[in-house]
Amino acid sequence: MGNQGMGSSGTRQLIEIIRSGAIGNVREVHLWTDRPIWPQGIDRPKDTPPVPQNLDWDLWIGPAPYRPYHPAYHPFRWRGWIDFGTGALGDIGCHVFPLPFLALDLGYPTWVQAISSGHNNETYPRWSIVQYEFPARGNLPPVRLTWYDGGQRPSTDLLKDLLKGETIPDNGHLFIGDKGVLFNGRFLPADQFKDYQPTAPTLPRAPQDNHYLEWVQACKTGSPTMSNFEFAGLVTEVVLLGNVALLTGEKIEFDPATMKAKGCPEAERYIRREYRKGWSL
């Protein structure tokens, strides 16, 4: 999978720190990004420029509903269009959700809900805030995970006592435990953890911190990668449930056994897409 950060020893050490209980039981996680860095919250263009000679437009469209070529979609800016991409959440969520998933042993959420600038059935919102509620897991308490994009951030009230005037960066993570906080890999309050020593590693490390080499190692030995398909598939599915909540405007309670959102029939068209003729499976 393309979530390269999972090959980093630093990421794996953060997982070990959280698992060790250094900041206590975590009930609250915040993740935020500077995405989208492409247009969202815009309408479909009306002009129809010629298709570039080096582009097979029908092939590029693939299973999506057909529309005329326009540089508003390709290259790169397809990410913001509902027919082609998954917006800021789908683009970056699969890079940053694996950390809390592994550190906190998360699975399917109890529910997902979202607020946003709204959408027009063409592009994803200019900004969104998505909340995921995860149930208790064994001795671990329930977790509320909140995602922010499009310039949204955790509230300053939440961080002002910890950051002491420091600016909240454009991208980040925040784990709030009952013994302390991890903010972008830093312990807060710093004085409380000045003598902290990490526990011995419990997770394997990728060769040279390189996720490509970890994949090669898996091919040669049969050992699983940290972000193997069984894990990455689950994370991707949960990330994209946030888009279902965004696009329907409803609180989503997902049943993974039936692949349906309980009591929300309008979610069906986002969970199972209609494929263009000639592209069905």
pLDDT attached to residue 238: 97
d(CA 238, CA 254): 9
Query: From CA 47, how far away is CA 11, in angstroms rounded?
Result: 46
The Cα 162–Cα 156 span in angstroms is 10
Per the domain annotation, does 279 fall within a domain?
Answer: no
Domain contains 278: no
Answer yes or no: are the C-beta atoms of 109 and 118 closer than 8 Å.
no
This prediction's pTM = 0.95
CA 36 to CA 34: how far, in whole Å? 6
Per the structure block, which two tokens stand in for 252? 């989503």
108 CB neighbour count, 10 Å cutoff: 16
Question: Quick one: pLDDT at residue 160?
Answer: 77
Per-10-residue mean pLDDT, the chain, length 281 = 83 96 97 97 96 97 96 96 97 95 97 96 97 98 98 85 84 96 94 92 94 94 92 95 97 96 95 91 80
Question: Is 183 contained in some domain?
Answer: yes
Residue 122 lies in a domain: yes
Q: Is residue 280 part of a domain?
A: no
Using the structure block, give the residue that is written with the tokens 């057909």. 66
Among 36, 30, 33, residue whose Cα is nearest residue 173? 30
| Main-chain phi, psi angles of 19, to 5 degrees | -60, -30
Cα–Cα distance between 181 and 160 in angstroms, integer? 13
User: Taking a C-beta distance cutoff of 8 angstroms, is the pair 120, 45 a contact?
Assistant: no
Q: What is the pLDDT of residue 159?
A: 79
Residue with tokens 């109890």: 110
65/76 Cα distance (integer angstroms)? 19
In a domain? residue 277: no
Contact 173, 99 (CB under 8 A): yes
For tokens 């069905």, name the residue.
280
- What total number of domains does the chain contain? 1
Q: What is the CATH number of the domain that holds 67?
A: 3.30.360.10
Q: Which domain holds residue 220?
A: 4-271
- C-alpha span between 122 and 133 (Å, rounded): 28
Does residue 276 fall inside a structural domain?
A: no
How far is it, in rounded angstroms, from Cα 220 to Cα 213?
10
What are the start-end ranges of the E strands in the chain? Answer: 26-32, 111-116, 128-134, 143-149, 172-177, 181-183, 186-188, 254-255, 260-261
Q: Rounded distance, CA 247 to CA 119, Å?
A: 7
Burial class of residue 143 in the structure, from the number of CB atoms within 10 Å of its CB (0-12 exposed, 13-18 middle, 19+ buried): buried
**Over the Cα atoms of the chain, what is R_g?**
20
Residue 220 lies in a domain: yes
Q: Which residue has the tokens 């049943």?
A: 255
